[in-house]
Structure 1
Amino acid sequence: MPKFASPTRDELALLEPLERLGLADIVLVATAQQAEHAWQLLSTSPVLGFDTESKPTFFRDQVSEGPHVVQLSTLDRAWVFQLFDTRCREIVATLLEADHITKVGFGLAGDHTQIRRTLGVEPRNVLDLNVVFRQKGYAKEIGVRGAVAVLFNRRFLKSKKATTSNWANRQLSESQLVYAANDAWAAMRVFHALDLPTGPGE
């Protein structure tokens, strides 16, 4: 039995919202030139928040063709990569394989499977924050909402409409950009608040 219970839906609803990154702090990466610039900024970061988004599947046994979007974040800015351009794909793959960068997020097992299939690489030095909270005695899948509530006493806003939107669109909406960026950014905030060490993972 867990030593600590994750916050309930009713408890989360009573909390004030956590502030979010706005469009001014979100960088869309869709071209080779944008990817090269992102590489210069991200390749020197010891830790990055990490998540992916994929076009939803609607039929039983339907295999996702995602990820269609990969998002990486520092504490003050997030980069949302679309993967149509070859150079974007190459740079995302290189960042995910980099041993010197710790990638942190929630519930990343499915992301790994899709990345291996779509990008042909094995993400390295990845820390699933659900595992950290489980080691601290919380429920198996506390998730980003629960972690934000526990650490900041705030409610993390996630739009169900954005969750199930078409992430394979070449033109992402502002709401999609905000949603994707903040998923990675919230993981970065949680990691920083936990004051965890950085370094090559398993």
Structure 2
Amino acid sequence: MRFLAHQFKPQKPIPTLIMNPRQFLERPTKEAIRELPKFEGLPLQKICLVRTADDLLFARDEIFNASHVGFDTESKPNFVVNQPKTGPHLVQIATGQHAFLFTLNDSPGNELLSEIIRSDKIVKVGFGLKSDRGPLYNKLGAMLQPTIELCAAVRRLGYKQQVGVQAAVAVVLGRYLQKSKKLTTSNWAAKTLSDRQLLYAADDAYASLCVYRELVRVAPHVLR
């Protein structure tokens, strides 16, 4: 059985799924990933930084109408040894049409975000969600549930190594999700986020949802 994304055709072949539990696949190299067609994320006008009462109503309607959402967080990096971590500072939730970004510094969206995080009617899908549970609970008093950990799901395709969102987008969707170290380590606790930060943050949550939907279509067994 070959594992291929139905709507995407990589410019160069990458490892395909061989249903042999004794044979592990190699994660594609960074060079191979960069040669793939670019992942098309949500445009800026589809990204909502939740701040106003209207934003809250819009986010509630969209998110609670979705059974599964892409989920991710961003934290201001620590560059000082032994400095306590204060993140996450931003939470990203993506539906099929929009991404909603919630800041956690005295944000009016904290109550709605807590409700979403603990809701058993909304399944959160993403990468590294286990590491988000404790910090989110400390900040919001809400336990992240239910979740689908895509790192584990993609590894069940036959990969021995850990597979993050960028590699998963490559092997599942046949696309290159650009990751900028400068943006990754930018100040996510800033009062004003740049357009590039908004796009970067939305991409991670939206890409997670896209990977999940493709796995549902072609390899649902890995989502057990």
Same fold (TM over 0.5): yes
1:174 to 187, 195, 214: 195
Q: Does 1:109 align with 2:130?
A: yes
- The one-letter code matched in structure 2 to 1:159 is S
Counterpart of 1:81 in 2: which secondary structure?
A: strand
- Counterpart of 2:67 (choices 42, 46, 49) is 46
Instruction: Kindly provide the CA deviation profile for residues 61-85 of structure 1, in whole angstroms up to 9, marking residues without a partner as x.
Output: 2222111110100122111111234
Quote the Cα distance in structure 2 between the aligned partners of 1:71 and 1:121.
Answer: 16
**What is the aligned-residue RMSD (CA, Å)?**
2.2
Distance in structure 1 (CA, Å) of the matches to 2:173 and 2:35: 13
Gaps of 5+ in 2: 1-21
Q: Distance in 2 between matches of 1:166 and 1:86?
A: 17
Q: Distance in 2 between matches of 1:40 and 1:22?
A: 20
Retained in 2: the 8 A contact 1:107–1:141?
no
Q: Residue 197 of structure 2 aligns to which amino acid in structure 1?
A: Q
Structure 1 stretches of 5 or more lacking a match?
A: none
Q: Does 1:139 align with 2:172?
A: no
Aligned to 1:195, the other structure's residue is in SS state helix
1:55 is aligned, of 52, 76, 84, to 76
Is contact 1:30-1:84 (8 Å) kept?
Answer: no
Contact 2:51–2:107 (8 Å) recurs in 1: no
Question: Which residue of structure 2 lines up, in the alignment, with residue 79 of structure 1?
Answer: 100
Name 2:88's counterpart in structure 1: 67
Partner of 2:16: none
The reply on whether 1:118 has 2:139 as its aligned counterpart is yes
For the 8 Å contact 1:21–1:178, the answer to whether it is kept is yes
Which amino acid letter does the alignment assign opposite residue 162 of structure 1?
Answer: L
| Inter-partner Cα distance in structure 1 for 2:167 and 2:87 | 26
Shift of 1:34: 1.9
Match of 1:25 in 2: 46
What SS class does the counterpart of residue 170 from structure 2 fall into? helix
Single out whichever of 156-165 and 136-145 deviates more from structure 2: 136-145
Deviates more, 1:135-144 or 1:168-177: 135-144
Counterpart position of 1:94: 115
The structure-2 alpha-carbon separation of the partners of 1:76 and 1:36, relative to structure 1 and needing over 3 Å to count, comes to closer
Q: Contact conserved, 2:105 with 2:189, CA < 8 A, in 1?
A: no
Q: Which amino acid is 1:49 matched to?
A: G
Residues 174 and 86 (structure 1 numbering): CA distance in 2 closer, same or farther, change over 3 Å?
A: closer
- What is the aligned residue count? 200
Indicate yes or no: 2:24 matched with 1:3: yes
Where 1:175 maps in the other structure, the secondary structure is: helix
Change (3 A) 1:140 1:115: farther
Specify whether residues 147 and 2 from structure 1 end up closer, same or farther in structure 2 by C-alpha distance, changes over 3 A only: farther
For 1:184 and 1:16, the matched residues in 2 are separated by 19
Taking only the aligned residue pairs, the percentage that are identical comes to 38
Report deviation, 1:8. Answer: 1.2
Q: Report the secondary structure of 2:48's partner residue.
A: strand
